[in-house]
C-alpha cells in the first residue's frame, strides 16, 4: 500500500508542476501586455476605427499624419482643442495648428465637438499602445487538400467486396468441379487453374461477361460524353489572392457593389481596379490574425498585405506619396463561369426581373476564400430551376414588352403574362 501511496503523491506532484510551468509560460508570453489597460485600449480602438481610420494610420501618413505616439509629440490639451474644433484653434492664431493646415495644402479635418475628454483620452491611449498583440502558435505553413476525393474507407470496402465475391465464385466453381468427379488439385495455384479452366468452359459466364462489359462501356462512354464542358468545381489560381469570404462574408460587401452590371446587362462583369481602390486607397493592410486558404496554402497577414500591393501596382498607386503615378498594369483574372456560345443567358433578367439571389447559381460565395464554379450550369440544371421557380411577372415592363411582341407575331391577343412560361417549344424552334 505504501508504494501505491507514493505513486499517487508522485503523480499529483507532476501534475502540479506541469500546471505551474504552463501558467508561468503563459504569463511570460503575455507579460508585455500586462501593463496595458485592456478596457481603454478596446474603447479607444473602437472610436479610432469609427472616426479616424479613414484618414489616419498609426505607423505612416495617409490623408492625414501618422498618429502613433502623437501624445508624446503634442500636449494633451492642445490635442483635445484640435480634435474638437481645429478651425477655432487656427482662428486663435495657434502656430502649430496653422502649420499643420498649410502642410496638408489646406485640407480641413472634420471637427468632433461631440467627443468628451475621456473619449479623446481613450483614443490617444490607443494610439500609444496600438493593437493587442495576438499570440499564435508558430509553425510551418501546412498545405491542405481540396477534399474532393472519395473517402479512403469507401475504396477499401469496395475492394474487400470484390475480393470476397471472387473468392466465393472460385470456391463454388471448385466445389462443382469436385462433385463432377474432377481430381482435387493441391495448393492455391491449382485452385486458380481450376477456376480459369471452369470459366473458359462455361458459356453462360461468357455471355454474362460480354453483356456486363457492353453495359459498363456504354455507361462510362455516355457519362464521359455528358461531362464534356461541365466544369463544376473548377477553381483556377487567380493572379491576386482575393477572398470573397473576407469581402462578402466578414465585411458584408454587397455582390452588386463590385458586379454592378449584373442588374442592367447580360454579363455581371469583372470589377475594374478602380472599384477595388474605392476601399483599398485607405486600406493598405489586413487585420491581425487574418488567414486565407489559397491554392492549398494558408496565407497570413504578411502574405495578404503583399496581395493588396498587387492592386496598388495595377492601379499605379504610390502608397507612400498618396498619388497615382499613371503606370498601370492589367490584372489578368481567369474566367471561372463560362456558358456555351449558343446560350443566351442574361443576368439582368434573372437578377432584376426574376429576383434570383446570387447564391442560387454561385453558391455560398460569402464562405469561399477561393471562388469556384458551384453549380454544373448544364441545360438540365437550368430547366429544373425554371420549373421550380415561381416568378411573378404581372406588371413587369420587361415581360409586358415580350408579351406584346409574341401577341403581334402569332396573331393572338389571348396570351397572358402567366402563360408566357408555358409556350410550346415549337412556337420559337420550328
Within 8 A by CB and 6+ apart from 271, the residues are 258, 259, 260
Distance CA 347, CA 370 (A): 22
| pLDDT number for residue 389 | 79
CA of residue 408 relative to chain centroid, distance: 48
pLDDT of 241 higher than 90: yes
At 307, list the grid cell. 496581395
pLDDT of 151 higher than 60: no
Would you list the domain boundaries of the chain? Answer: 38-129, 152-226, 244-376, 392-427
Assign 292 to helix, strand or coil: strand
| pLDDT number for residue 337 | 92
| pLDDT number for residue 276 | 94
Per-chain mean pLDDT for the chain: 77
78: enclosing H helix or E strand: helix 76-91
pLDDT of 201 higher than 90: no
At 220, list the grid cell. 462510362
pLDDT band per the 50, 70, 90 thresholds, residue 306: very high
Which of 67-71, 164-168, 421-425 has the weakest average pLDDT?
A: 421-425
pLDDT tens-digit map of 21-47: 445 445 544 444 445 788 888 888 888
pLDDT of 305 higher than 90: yes
| Residue 353: DSSP 8-state | I
Q: Could you tell me if 311 and 247 are in contact, meaning their C-beta atoms sit under 8 angstroms apart?
A: no
pLDDT of 123 higher than 80: yes
* Percentage of residues in the chain having pLDDT higher than 70: 68
pLDDT band per the 50, 70, 90 thresholds, residue 147: very low
| pLDDT number for residue 148 | 40
| pLDDT number for residue 312 | 95
| pLDDT number for residue 158 | 64
| pLDDT number for residue 169 | 67
DSSP 231-282: -TT--PPPSS---HIIIIIIS---HHHHSGGGGTSSS--PPPHHHHHHHHTS
Distance CA 243, CA 234 (A): 16
Looking at residues 311-337, what average pLDDT do you find? 92
pLDDT of 190 higher than 80: no
Which of 3.40.50.620, 2.40.30.10, 1.10.760.10, 3.90.550.10 is the CATH number of 38-129?
A: 1.10.760.10
pLDDT band per the 50, 70, 90 thresholds, residue 426: very low
**Phi/psi-derived region of residue 214, left when phi > 0, alpha when psi is between -120 and 50, beta in every other case:** alpha
| pLDDT number for residue 302 | 92
Amino acid at each position: 500500500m505504501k508504494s501505491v501511496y507514493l505513486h499517487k503523491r508522485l503523480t499529483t506532484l507532476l501534475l502540479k508542476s506541469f500546471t505551474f510551468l504552463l501558467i508561468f509560460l503563459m504569463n511570460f508570453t503575455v507579460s508585455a501586455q500586462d501593463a496595458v489597460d485592456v478596457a481603454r485600449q478596446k474603447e479607444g480602438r473602437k472610436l479610432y476605427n469609427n472616426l479616424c481610420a479613414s484618414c489616419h494610420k498609426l505607423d505612416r501618413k495617409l490623408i492625414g499624419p501618422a498618429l502613433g505616439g502623437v501624445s508624446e509629440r503634442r500636449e494633451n490639451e492642445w490635442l483635445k482643442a484640435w480634435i474638437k474644433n481645429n478651425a477655432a484653434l487656427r482662428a486663435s492664431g495657434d502656430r502649430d495648428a496653422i502649420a499643420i493646415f498649410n502642410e496638408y495644402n489646406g485640407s480641413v479635418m472634420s471637427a468632433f465637438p461631440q467627443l468628451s475628454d475621456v473619449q479623446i483620452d481613450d483614443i490617444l491611449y490607443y494610439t500609444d499602445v496600438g493593437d493587442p498583440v495576438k499570440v499564435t502558435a508558430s509553425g510551418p505553413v501546412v498545405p491542405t487538400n481540396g477534399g474532393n476525393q472519395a473517402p479512403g474507407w469507401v475504396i477499401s470496402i469496395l475492394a474487400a467486396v470484390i475480393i470476397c465475391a471472387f473468392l466465393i465464385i472460385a470456391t463454388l466453381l471448385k466445389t462443382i468441379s469436385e462433385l463432377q468427379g474432377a481430381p482435387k488439385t493441391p495448393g492455391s495455384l491449382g485452385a486458380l487453374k481450376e477456376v480459369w479452366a471452369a470459366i473458359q468452359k462455361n458459356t453462360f459466364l461468357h455471355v454474362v461477361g460480354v453483356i456486363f462489359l457492353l453495359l459498363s462501356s456504354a455507361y462510362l462512354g455516355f457519362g464521359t460524353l455528358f461531362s464534356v464542358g461541365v466544369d463544376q468545381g473548377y477553381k483556377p489560381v487567380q493572379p491576386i489572392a482575393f477572398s470573397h469570404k473576407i469581402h462578402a462574408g466578414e465585411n458584408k460587401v454587397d455582390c452588386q457593389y463590385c458586379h454592378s452590371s449584373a442588374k442592367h446587362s447580360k454579363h455581371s462583369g469583372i470589377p475594374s481596379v478602380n472599384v477595388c481602390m474605392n476601399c483599398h486607397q485607405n486600406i493598405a493592410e489586413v487585420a491581425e490574425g487574418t488567414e486565407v486558404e489559397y491554392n492549398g496554402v494558408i496565407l497570413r497577414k504578411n502574405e495578404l498585405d503583399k496581395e493588396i500591393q498587387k492592386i496598388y501596382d495595377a492601379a499605379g498607386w504610390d502608397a507612400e506619396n498618396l498619388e497615382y503615378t499613371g503606370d498601370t498594369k492589367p490584372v489578368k483574372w481567369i474566367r471561372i463561369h463560362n456558358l456555351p456560345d449558343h446560350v443566351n443567358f442574361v443576368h439582368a433578367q434573372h437578377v432584376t426581373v426574376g429576383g434570383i439571389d446570387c447564391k442560387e447559381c454561385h453558391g455560398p460565395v460569402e464562405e469561399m476564400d477561393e471562388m469556384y464554379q458551384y453549380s454544373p450550369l448544364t441545360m438540365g440544371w437550368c430547366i429544373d430551376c425554371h420549373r421550380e421557380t415561381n416568378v411573378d411577372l404581372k406588371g413587369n415592363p420587361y415581360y409586358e414588352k415580350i408579351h406584346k411582341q409574341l401577341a403581334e407575331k402569332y396573331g393572338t391577343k389571348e396570351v397572358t403574362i402567366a402563360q408566357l412560361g408555358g409556350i410550346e417549344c415549337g412556337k420559337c424552334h420550328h
